[in-house]
């Protein structure tokens, strides 16, 4: 009676061993692949990952001592607006944060806007620009209008004066200045800084960008990118609501505003902002003076890599994006592939969260004077 059971166990064990062997034959031993940005067959020792199959743009050695792109610079200077540009783009020597010597584009822009639109509305019943409201009632991307002021009131913030005008504060310093006018009896305000056209922004942008394994956050006080109109991208706007009151930094309909002690800058990506507004149910305002595009170069990050919209050049949705919303792949401008970023409009703050490339050292990416 026990023999058949023993035979069954032996057969079952044999079957298990055969299955295990078959699984071992299917499994692969992962190889370390190194990025070959310049296409010379030599890999960058600083950028690698493990995979069973060789990915496009990677090789199995780490023998390259200079993996910067050969040939033409990545940044296309002809794409930039010349309205407030001072002089020409100049190719100058520079050092990068990965320890390599390279070339950077230097260019200067004046703090002069070709189009200026309303940010904070002056009276009840008027519609202004945009704001990121973080109070308790309906927080998020909001239009500066009566609906928002009603939510201010629901949260205990009074922004409307007795004559029906909106309490607009003009900050004179950096973030945190001029939020609530002392003794005004009003604990809510719309911040609307004046545009000081005397400022100039000087950029140093790597012409031959190099990807690294290090991610650098964009949520810092430093500018992290430049739009094609020559104005920089900044971190997320400061908080509006506090125990003292609600001071909301106003943005125009394209997602930017003047800095009281510096240049006009963007907190949102203007070239895809109308899609973002639609996703958030906003129809009262739209960005009308910056061309909208979902699959072309919109800007360049501080590391010199291009930033695209929420689609690939063929209209498909980007896949395998890393933590910085970037990946290596072909684009219309770079058919052989390049590392690049995408603005996916998945978050209210439609900016990339970090950058992956080496940045200029010894000079600021964007210096203001």
> Domain range holding 31?
2-59
In the predicted structure, residue 13 carries a pLDDT above the cut 70: no
Name the residue with tokens 């009676």. Answer: 1
Judged against a pLDDT cut of 80, whether residue 339 lies above it is answered with yes
Per-residue pLDDT for 307 more than 60?
A: yes
**Same domain? 117 vs 264:** yes
Higher pLDDT, 99 or 38: 99
Same domain, 49 and 86: no
Q: What number is the average pLDDT over the span 270-287?
A: 97
Neighbours of 308 (CB within 10 A): 25
Number of domains in the chain: 2
In a domain, 8, yes or no: yes
pLDDT at site 56: 60
At 183, is the pLDDT very low, low, confident or very high (cuts 50, 70, 90)?
very low
Q: What are the b/e assignments for 221-256, b being 16+ CB within 10 Å? A: eebbbbbbbbbbbbbebbebbeeebbbbbbbbbbbb
Taking a C-beta distance cutoff of 8 angstroms, is the pair 70, 40 a contact? Answer: yes
Residue whose entry in the numeric block shows the structure tokens 């509305």: 121
- Where among 15, 36, 59 does a domain terminate? 59
Rounded-to-integer distance, Cα 203 and Cα 195, Å: 20
Give the tens place of pLDDT for each residue, 29-77.
889 988 776 667 888 887 787 889 887 667 899 988 776 655 789 999 9
Q: What is the pTM of this model?
A: 0.81
Q: Has residue 187 been placed in a domain?
A: yes
Is 216 contained in some domain?
A: yes
Q: For CA atoms 68, 72, 73, 74, give the dihedral sign.
A: negative
The confidence score (pLDDT) of residue 23 equals: 47
Please give the share of the chain, as a percent, with pLDDT higher than 70: 86
pLDDT tens-place string over residues 343-359: 999 999 999 999 999 99
Asked if residue 33 is part of any domain, the answer here is: yes
Task: Give the model's confidence band at 184: pLDDT under 50 very low, under 70 low, under 90 confident, else very high.
Answer: low
Averaged pLDDT for residues 214-242: 92
Look over the chain and give the mean of its residue pLDDT values, rounded to a whole number. 88
Q: Answer yes or no: is 113 within a domain.
A: yes
Residue ending a domain, choose from 18, 33, 59: 59
As a residue count, the chain comes to 369
Question: What pLDDT score was predicted for residue 367?
Answer: 97
List C-alpha distances in Å: 88 to 28, 81, 107, 277, 301. 53, 11, 7, 35, 20
Q: What is the pLDDT of residue 17?
A: 45
Q: Using 50, 70 and 90 to split pLDDT, how confident is the model at 196?
A: very high
Pick the range with the lowest mean pLDDT from 6-10, 198-202, 307-311.
Answer: 6-10
Provide mean pLDDT across the span 261-266. Answer: 94
Q: Give yes or no: residues 39 and 93 share one domain.
A: no
pLDDT confidence bin for 180, thresholds 50/70/90: low
Q: So what's the pLDDT on residue 243?
A: 83
Residues 92 and 44 in one domain: no
Whether the per-residue pLDDT at 24 is higher than 80: the answer is no
Q: What is the pLDDT of residue 40?
A: 78
Cα Rg, the chain, nearest whole Å: 26
Q: Is residue 284 part of a domain?
A: yes
Give domain status of residue 64, yes or no: no
């Amino acid at each position: 009676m026990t023999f058949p059971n023993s035979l069954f166990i032996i057969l079952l064990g044999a079957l298990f061993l055969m299955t295990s062997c078959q699984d071992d034959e299917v499994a692969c031993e992962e190889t370390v692949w190194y990025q070959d940005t310049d296409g010379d067959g030599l890999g960058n020792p600083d950028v690698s990952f493990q995979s069973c199959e060789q990915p496009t743009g990677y090789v199995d050695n780490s023998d390259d001592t200079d993996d910067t792109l050969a040939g033409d610079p990545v940044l296309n200077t002809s794409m930039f607006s010349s309205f407030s540009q001072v002089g020409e783009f100049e190719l100058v020597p520079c050092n990068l944060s990965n320890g390599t010597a390279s070339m950077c584009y230097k260019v200067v822009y004046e703090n002069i806007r070709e189009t200026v639109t309303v940010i904070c509305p002056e009276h009840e019943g008027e519609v202004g620009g945009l704001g990121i409201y973080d109070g308790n009632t309906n927080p998020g991307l909001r239009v500066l209008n009566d609906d928002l002021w009603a939510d201010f009131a629901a949260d205990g913030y009074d922004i409307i004066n007795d004559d029906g005008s909106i309490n607009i504060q003009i900050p004179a310093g950096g973030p945190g200045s001029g939020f609530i006018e002392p003794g005004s009896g009003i604990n809510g305000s719309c911040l609307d800084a004046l545009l000081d056209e005397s400022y100039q922004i000087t950029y140093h942008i790597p012409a031959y960008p190099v990807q690294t394994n290090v991610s650098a956050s964009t949520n810092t006080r430093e500018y992290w990118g430049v739009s094609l109109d020559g104005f920089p991208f900044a971190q997320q706007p400061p908080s509006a609501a506090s125990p003292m009151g609600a001071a909301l930094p106003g943005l125009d309909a394209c997602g930017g505003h003047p800095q009281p002690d510096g240049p006009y800058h963007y907190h949102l990506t203007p070239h895809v902002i109308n899609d973002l507004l639609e996703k958030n149910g906003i129809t009262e305002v739209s960005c009308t003076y910056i061309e909208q595009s979902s699959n072309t170069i919109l800007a360049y990050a501080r590391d010199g890599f291009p930033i695209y919209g929420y689609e690939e050049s063929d209209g498909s949705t980007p896949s395998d994006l890393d933590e910085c919303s970037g990946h290596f792949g072909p684009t219309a401008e770079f058919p052989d592939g390049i590392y690049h970023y995408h603005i996916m409009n998945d978050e209210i703050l439609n900016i990339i969260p970090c950058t992956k490339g080496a940045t200029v050292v010894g000079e600021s990416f964007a210096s203001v004077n």
